[in-house]
Chain A
Amino acid sequence: NAGVMQNPRHLVRRRGQEARLRCSPVKGHSHVYWYRQLPEEGLKFMVYLQKENIIDESGMPKERFSAEFPKEGPSILRIQQVVRGDSAAYFCASSPGQVNSPLHFGNGTRLTVT
């Protein structure tokens, strides 16, 4: 029973390039969350999605960042024209969406912008 799968584990991009982070939720989970973590800091909420819908994107920068969770396939977090400040660990979590059901996290994608 696979957990949340994120890839790649490490991603290096030069300033101005695009970064695509993928997340496959736990089988049967229809809710996906993206969090960002800077070194020695906590988890900052970015976006909450259900299949084909963005439920809450209040934590996501308005520019350059977008997220999707299509009917088929993984959830994608896309960062266009990356800057050094985007360097962080990005974690995806999933849940079945039931009341008080916990989040299951992946092991993250560590993005480094050079």
Chain B
Amino acid sequence: QQQVKQSPQSLIVQKGGISIINCAYENTAFDYFPWYQQFPGKGPALLIAIRPDVSEKKEGRFTISFNKSAKQFSLHIMDSQPGDSATYFCAASKNNFNKFYFGSGTKLNVKP
């Protein structure tokens, strides 16, 4: 059973556009939701994270929107740039458990 479902699998956006990646989870015990960015040949790197006591978190051009009742969260990349082209993974973990469940990834391609 996949704990975290991510969509779309791939995404093409024009430079300057908004990239939106969605994730949904089932387990209401999850209380930490990070997003990771992975470039080819590299390991995933933490991009931004949110806890369920807030509905939105913004860091520069990256925003997480969180809907606790719908058990969904999404990553928005504003003013997308070719350098943002990478694979993005959402994840979720439970308090005091330290085990992370990852989505299947979204390959983003930002066209110049």
**What is A's interface to B at a CB cutoff of 8 Å?**
4, 6, 31, 33, 35, 40-43, 45, 48, 55-56, 91, 93, 95, 97, 99-108
Contact = CB atoms under 8 A, between A and B. Distances in A.
A7 B41 CA distance: 14
Interface residues of B, number: 26
A45 B43 contact: no
Contacts of A99: 95-96
A106 B43 contact: yes
Given A4-B43, A99-B95, A99-B96, A43 B32 contact: no
A67 to B, nearest CB: 15
A105 B45 contact: yes
Contacts of A100: 31-32, 49, 51, 93, 95
A31 B99 CA distance: 10
B66 interface: no
B63 interface: no
B49 A107 contact: no
